[in-house]
A and B are shown apart, each in its own frame.
Chain A
């Protein structure tokens, strides 16, 4: 199975900050990577797929990059609504796997 590792596990930041966190795959997944945002008690919400393609309707302050085993997710200017947990997920091969999540907290 492909292991997905996110870092950091928790990130403290302020409104307006630029934040970046990473996701590493244990083997190449090309660009078969999605990013989801989840708020407490809610279902996840798709932000990005194919590593760098923004889902329709998602603000352009979110961006993604990377390929093979190294991926990055960036929020260019953190907004109050962005405080949440973010998960990467590979869909290169079954079983699909998620990273353990990066929680973005208010500093």
Chain B
């Protein structure tokens, strides 16, 4: 049974850093793409980043986080991370970890973890 459990969220001041973790079970995350998707309060979904695995490991990001966020994985722990630096107020929201399917689309989601960037 696929499970994704996020941790590491919280309240942080603008300009500071935070690292989110996503512990996967029920599948080997290095065999699939694993994504982060966020949702600002009262707003829609925004895709943030992916750690893609199609023979070689690649990462892609939405423009608004390029150079500030880094996605990585630890195969030994079956865990994915999102290192978020230089946080901005507009990065506030619920961050979801999500699993890509064998046909590319996202098929499973974690429960989400809130991140609040505020002074």
Contact = CB atoms under 8 A, between A and B. Distances in A.
Contacts, number: 57
Interface in A19-61: 32, 34, 36, 38, 43-46, 49-50, 55
Contacts of B110: 43
A71 interface: no
B46 interface: yes
Contacts of A38: 45
Contacts of B109: 43-45
A93 to B, nearest CB: 9
B36 to A, nearest CB: 11
A105 B10 CA distance: 32
Given A50-B103, A94-B50, 5 more contacts: A32-B105, A43-B109, A44-B96, A50-B105, A96-B35
27 contacts: A1-B63, A34-B106, A36-B45, A36-B106, A43-B96, A43-B111, A44-B45, A44-B96, A46-B106, A46-B108, A49-B103, A49-B105, A49-B107, A55-B107, A87-B45, A89-B45, A89-B106, A94-B50, A94-B60, A95-B47, A95-B60, A95-B61, A95-B62, A96-B50, A98-B44, A98-B45, A101-B45
